[in-house]
Amino acid sequence: MTEIKLTLLIGQYAQNYYLKNAAKSTLTETVKSYNDYLPDYIPLPHPSPRNNIWQKKNTWFKESLIKVLQERVGALLNDDKYSL
């Protein structure tokens, strides 16, 4: 896989593995600093029902990061190479 344009780092274990020392001390800090890892990575919390509380406490997640994720994926899908 030589043409990877975006990697979603889902959960703290993936974030720590791929970001190494660039990961922040908590998942929330790492996800909130998503701009630091663009355009190659987007760190995300694990999509678990247990994270509903986290999402309610961190309204910025849906307000900003999800929009960035949608735009980034949309741009990749609109590229002729990546059209479905």
pTM value? Answer: 0.85
Please, how many CA atoms are within 13 Å of residue 28, restricted to the half-sphere of its CB?
9
The whole-angstrom separation of Cα 34 and Cα 18 is 13
17, 66, 77 from 71: Cα distances, Å? 25, 9, 10
Q: What does each of the 84 residues of the chain score in pLDDT, given as a tens digit? A: 778 889 999 999 999 999 999 999 999 999 999 999 998 999 999 988 888 899 999 999 999 999 999 999 999 888 756 554
Q: Are 45 and 11 in contact (CB under 8 A)?
A: yes
- The DSSP symbol for 38 reads T
Class for the domain spanning 7-82 = alpha beta
**Direct distance between the N- and C-terminal alpha carbons of the chain, in angstroms, rounded to an integer:** 17
Residue from 78, 69, 75 nearest 42 by CA: 69
Where in the chain are the domains? 7-82
